[in-house]
Structure 1
Amino acid sequence: MKEKTLLKINQLEEKYCHGCLLKKMNREQGTRTSAHKFCITECSVGLRIRSHGNQLQ
């Protein structure tokens, strides 16, 4: 179960997060923390990753 969840997270990150223009723009206009906050609270992919991460707890 844990391995499948980690695989799902990695696949989402590789497919959508690497090269994300919104992430890049948020880092340039703010801080890494603000970019991370945007990703986990507003981005639909980030919310899915967060949801999968919560399953690991």
Structure 2
Amino acid sequence: MKRSKVFNEIDELITSYCEGCFLHLHFKKEFSKTYAHKFCINQCTVGQKLQEKGNILFGNEK
């Protein structure tokens, strides 16, 4: 898969789902920025998709 295509897919995911995410904003307000970030990375399905795309970019495909 070409890197530019992967970058476009990442950009599309972030634009479609992450910008203005209610859960991220809620967790950031109620707990902390760090907690919200960890939630996005570890529990959010969009965060998991972003990790998969990142692994493709950096050659860490499973």
| Global fold match (TM > 0.5) | yes
Greater C-alpha radius of gyration: 2
**Between the two proteins, what is the percent identity of the paired residues?**
37
| Higher RCO by CA contacts (8 Å cutoff, separation 6 or greater) | 1
Aligned length: 57
Q: TM-score, normalised by structure 1?
A: 0.89
Distance 2:5 2:34 in 1: 28
Do structure 1's residue 42 and structure 2's residue 32 form an aligned pair? no
Runs (5+) with no aligned partner, structure 1:
none
Q: CA RMSD for the aligned pairs?
A: 0.9
**Richer in helix (by share):** 1
Runs (5+) with no aligned partner, structure 2:
none
